[in-house]
Structure 1
C-alpha cells in the first residue's frame, strides 16, 4: 500500500485497465477531503483531495475512455469530519446495473482492510437523493461478505484516514475486471448461497414496461420458452439472494440483455449455457457480454433477433428509452441450432395484425412519441 500525505505517487493518465497499474493500487490518505457533486449530470465535479489540497485522480470514476467524476473546486471551508479509517467506495448509484458495475469497483480491497476500517464512504450520484441507501445496496455488500456501515457523504467532509483502492471494474476495457477484482468476487461473493431453482430459466424484462428498455413481443417469447420447459423469472420481484440461488441452479440461461446479467456474471460458471437476446442497438450489450465471458469463463451467445427498434421521435436514435421489436423466427432458429430449445421448434414472426394489436394495447399506436427504425442484424459471439 502506498502511504501518501502530500500528493499522489501514481498519476493515472488514462483509463483504468484490467492488466493492472493504478487500477490495482491502494493509496492511504491522511486528512483527506471528500467533495460530493452539486449537480446531476453524467460528468460531475466531485472527488477526493489530499491534505495539501492536491487532487487525487485515483479516486475518480472512469467510464470507457474518460473520467465522469472530474476535479471539483476545493472547498474553502470544511465543517464536516469523520474520525477513524474508512474505505473509499466511490459513486453510489441508485440505478441497479450501474451500482453493480460502478459502485462495486473498489470492493476488491475489502480482504486487506476490512478488519481496521469503520465503514465504506460513497458520494451520491444524484445530489437531490442525498444519503439514500437502498435495501439492495446493503444486501449486495452482505453477499460480498461484509456488514460494514455505508456512509454517504453529501457535504464536503474531512476524513481522518481514507483508503483509496483503484477502480478494478466498470464500463470500458475494465469491464473484464482486474485480476484482484475477479479474485475477490470469486472468493467472497455469495459463496454461502446454495443453488435453488429449475435447470432452465428465462430472465425477463416484460414486467418493467417498454419505457424502461423493454421488448415488444416479449410476452409471446415467454410463452414459447415456457413450452420448452423454461421458468420465466422476473428478478426485480425477488431479493438478490433468491436471484443468485436461481442463477447458480440453472444450466441453461436465456436473458434479455440488461442489468440482471451483471449479477449473473458474479456467480456464473463455465459449464452454464448463456444466451443474451439484444433489445436495442447499443454498445452497452457488448460490454455486458464481455463481463459474463470474463467472470464466468463461458461463451455467451449474443442474438440480434430484432425485427425493428423503436426509438424516441425526438432525436431519432437508439438510447436507454428505445425498445426492440422481436423477430421470434430468428431467435428460435438460433436457440434451436445451439441446443437451448428442441431441434423441431419452428417459431414464427408475429403477423401484422398481432403486431398492431400489441402496439395498441401498449399505447404505441399512432402518435406515441416513438418511430420505427430497422436495425442491423447481429447474431454472433462477442469478440
Structure 2
C-alpha cells in the first residue's frame, strides 16, 4: 500500500497530476533537508527523502500512484552542503531513462542560472551499478546542449544534508505526458540545440530507420532487419545513435522528414524538443504503446504504431525470463508491412524471406544456453 503525500487521497493524487493549461510550474524550497539514494524494488523507487520531509514536487508521479516510496526511517546524514542547490531527481546510467526521468526539473536552472551552487541527483544504486557511483559520461554534454550553465553535479549515494534545496515540479511525467506550462522551456531547449547543431544542416538523411539488431541483448523485434532492408528501397538510412555524438543525434531528428524506429531509447532525445517535423512510425516491442504515444503525439505531425497489441508476442530474454529485455515477434508480419506500404514505395512483401530473416535475427540474439535458443525457436514456430 502506497502512502500518498501529505493529505492526498488516491483521487486527489490523480487529479493533482492532470495539469491545467494555465497552471505554472512551481518550485518548493526545503531548509536543512536530507537527501538519500534510491533503490529500485518491485517497480518502485525506494528512498530519495524520508516520509517526514518529502514535498510534493519531490515525488515521482505515476499514472495511478506515485512511483516512489519515501523512507519510513531516516538515517543521519554523512555529508553536509552549505548554500542553495537544485534537486533534479533520480539518476542512473541508462540513456533513455535519463531523458525520460531525470532532466525535467532542470527548467528552473534556465529561470535562475546564477541562483544555485550545484545540481543534486539521487543515485539509483541497483540499476546498472558501478564500483564507483558517478554521473553518466554523456550528461555534461547533454546539459551543454540544453544551454544550462556549467554547475557542479552531486550524485547522492549516502545520506546528505542540504542547507537549502529547491525542488522544481516535473515538466514532463513518465506515462502522463507534458505539462503545457513546460512547453516554453522545451522551446528554449530546442532553439539552443538547433543553434548548436546548425553545422550539420543538410548533412543528415531525410528518412531514418532506427533499429535494434545491434542491441538484441537488451531486447528487440525479431524480423526487424527485414523491414530495415525493405525500407532502404524507399531511401531510408539506418542509424545507430550510440555511434554518433549527441549533437549529431539531435541533428538527425531535427532535420528528418520520416522516421521509422524500433521501440526503444533511440527516439527519447525528442524529450528535450517541443516539436519534430518528421512523421514517426514505431515497430512496437510491447503490446501497449502508451508511453511512446504520450511522448510523441504532442510533438509530431503524425505518429503511427505499426502493429496492434494482439499482433505483438514476446520471447524470453537472454536469461530465459520475461522482462523489459524480452525479444518480440509479430504473429502476422504482413499486416505490419502493409502499414509501411501505405506510406512508402516498397517491394512486394516476401513472406518466405521475412521468416528466414526472423530466424537469422533469433540466432544472433544472445541466450544463456542452447536450450533457451531452441525454446525460443519452438515458440516462434507455433505461429509459423
**TM-score tier after normalising by the smaller chain length:** 0.7 to 0.9
Of residues 322, 332, 340, the one that matches 1:335 is 340
Question: Is 1:278 the counterpart of 2:284 in the alignment?
Answer: yes
Partner of 1:206: 213
Partner of 2:57, secondary structure, is: helix
Partner of 1:287, secondary structure, is: helix
Q: Contact 1:329 / 1:346 at 8 angstroms: preserved in 2?
A: no
Residues 155/58 of structure 1: CA separation in 2 closer, same or farther (3 Å cut): same
Partner of 1:4: none
- Summarize deviations over 1:16-73 as a string: whole Å, max 9, x none: 33337999321111212212236666323313369xx543243122232222222214
Partner of 1:59: 58
- Summarize deviations over 1:98-126 as a string: whole Å, max 9, x none: 21111112122222232210111000112
Q: Contact 1:107 / 1:181 at 8 angstroms: preserved in 2?
A: no
Residues 31/313 of structure 1: CA separation in 2 closer, same or farther (3 Å cut): closer
CA distance in 2, matches of 1:126, 1:308: 33
Of residues 348, 351, 368, the one that matches 1:349 is 351
Partner of 1:123: 122
Deviation of 1:357 after TM superposition, in Å, equals: 4.9
Residues 374/57 of structure 1: CA separation in 2 closer, same or farther (3 Å cut): farther
Aligned-residue Cα RMSD (Å) equals: 3.4
CA distance in 2, matches of 1:162, 1:14: 24
Of residues 173, 187, 204, the one that matches 1:197 is 204
Residues 54/248 of structure 1: CA separation in 2 closer, same or farther (3 Å cut): closer
Of residues 322, 326, 329, the one that matches 1:322 is 326
Partner of 2:347, secondary structure, is: coil
* TM-score, with length taken from structure 2: 0.81
Of residues 126, 139, 142, the one that matches 1:140 is 142
Deviation of 1:179 after TM superposition, in Å, equals: 1.8
Gaps (5+ residues) in structure 1? 1-7, 377-383
Residues 92/22 of structure 1: CA separation in 2 closer, same or farther (3 Å cut): farther
Question: Is 1:153 the counterpart of 2:131 in the alignment?
Answer: no
Question: Is 1:217 the counterpart of 2:223 in the alignment?
Answer: yes
Partner of 2:70: 71
CA distance in 1, matches of 2:253, 2:180: 23
Q: How many residue pairs were aligned?
A: 358
